[in-house]
A and B are shown apart, each in its own frame.
Chain A
Amino acid sequence: MAGAISNLSETTFDEEIGSATEPVLVDFWAEWCGPCKMIAPILEEIATEQSDSIRIAKVNVDEAPELARRFEVMSIPTLILFADGQPATRIVGAKGKTQLLEELAAHL
């Protein structure tokens, strides 16, 4: 479904990222992280507004600590943009929507 945000687990991550035809922005987050909650509505807006150019997915680091380790996530929120299955850019820390879109623009 266009604009839907999927939750990736350790078992679904490689399949979903590998098979994606558009860039996927993966949000590493957790329930106890205040700044993660602040950016959640922004990511929902981007998912809906830019559904042609980008997909958004989430990794809950509590449920998928192996994925956090694999991508060396040591601070959340961390957003990693995957293009052709490979990490293309990484944004650490919560940002406003304008700044987030600016930082992503170069890679879309």
Chain B
Amino acid sequence: MSEQSVSEKLPIHREVVIIGSGPAGLTAAIYAARADLAPLVIEGEPSSTSDQPGGQLMLTTDVENFPGFPEGIMGPQLMADMRAQASRFGAEIVSAKVSRVDFSDQPFRLWIGNSEASEPTHTADAVIVSTGARSVMLGLEAEQRLIGHGLSTCATCDGFFFRDQEIAVVGGGDSALEEAGFLSKFASKVTVVHRRDELRASKIMQKRSIDNPKIEFAWNSMVEDVLGESKVEGLILRDTVTDDTRILPVTGVFIAIGHRPNTDLFTDCLDMDEAGYLVTVPDRSATNVEGVFACGDVQDHTYRQAITAAASGCMAAIDAERWLESRTD
């Protein structure tokens, strides 16, 4: 918690509090600020696993499919620009992580910092949840030992350390292929390890990867273990068709197998599907709690794009504004 907020009288009340600051949260902030709702954005805390302020785009390089940027734009730059745009219209942004929420009564109560505290740090009439999704890990014991020692969740951070080395990217979606392409600038060979025999990634990304002489594919392969005591020495791959195992010698492994919604905060209060995504009313951003709205990847397991997140953030802000108005009628 920042010192500034400690000295203010607690809890701090706002008409609208937005939790999360990716394209969805910041677009909601732009719209809510322009509707004179003076939103507070609780943006999150630094992290290297894509639940950081700015969201998943903070760990990417070129964003080529966000309309309006014919030459592409760097992910962190796009997010810095959205943040500046939200600030320009009066959105207040705090760098902290919400540790607890209580949506059982109005006004809604939110805690940052100590979740055990009896009194919340913030209260709000309406809450917009845009906490996004974070990278899923393989779930192997070796991961904890080797993260930072050849195992990475951030290609843009760590590619530099694998110059002229043979490495692997695990996954078959757009993020995996984007990472493979980026890493091929440094590595001598990048093997994309994918559990099926076809990719989920978009056609343009597939073509680029297949045309890239440094990228190879290990099809129908699951990572059974990561080898190495103090640094990565290889992967044990199990063939999903024949059940045979083999060793792929690599010094680096980048994990891009997908994302999991950041909904742990809401297990007791918001409806979610079996994968943990928040459930919203069809074609709307409303959740099962009146006055709580959800947007972006936290409620979208279908599209998961920056532009769809931004669009749903706009919807959430308009829904929140109309709901607040309806209460005062």
Chain A interface (Cβ within 8 Å of chain B)?
30, 32-39, 42, 61-62, 68, 72-78, 90, 92-99
Residue in A35, A42, A73, A76 whose CB lies within 8 Å of B59? A35
Residue of B nearest to A97 (CB): B45
Subset of 19 A-B contacts with CB under 8 Å: A33-B156, A34-B54, A34-B156, A35-B48, A36-B157, A38-B58, A61-B161, A62-B160, A72-B230, A73-B161, A74-B162, A75-B147, A75-B161, A76-B158, A90-B148, A92-B48, A92-B148, A93-B47, A93-B48
Chain B interface (Cβ within 8 Å of chain A)?
1, 45-49, 52-54, 58-59, 75-76, 95-97, 113, 147-150, 152, 154, 156-158, 160-162, 230-231, 252
Closest-CB distance, B192 to chain A (whole angstroms):
20
Chain B residues near A90 (CB-CB < 8 A): 148
Chain A residues near B59 (CB-CB < 8 A): 34-35
CB-CB under 8 A for A98 and B157, given A74-B149, A75-B147: no
Q: Are B113 and A34 in contact (CB under 8 A)?
A: no
Closest-CB distance, B268 to chain A (whole angstroms):
23
CB-CB under 8 A for A72 and B157, given A38-B53, A94-B47: no
Q: Are A96 and B46 in contact (CB under 8 A)?
A: yes
Q: Are B160 and A96 in contact (CB under 8 A)?
A: no
Residue of A nearest to B1 (CB): A98
Chain A residues near B76 (CB-CB < 8 A): 34, 37
CB-CB under 8 A for A75 and B45, given A32-B156, A34-B157, A35-B154: no
The 9 closest A-B pairs by CB, nearest first: A96-B45, A92-B148, A93-B48, A94-B46, A38-B46, A75-B148, A74-B161, A33-B157, A35-B48
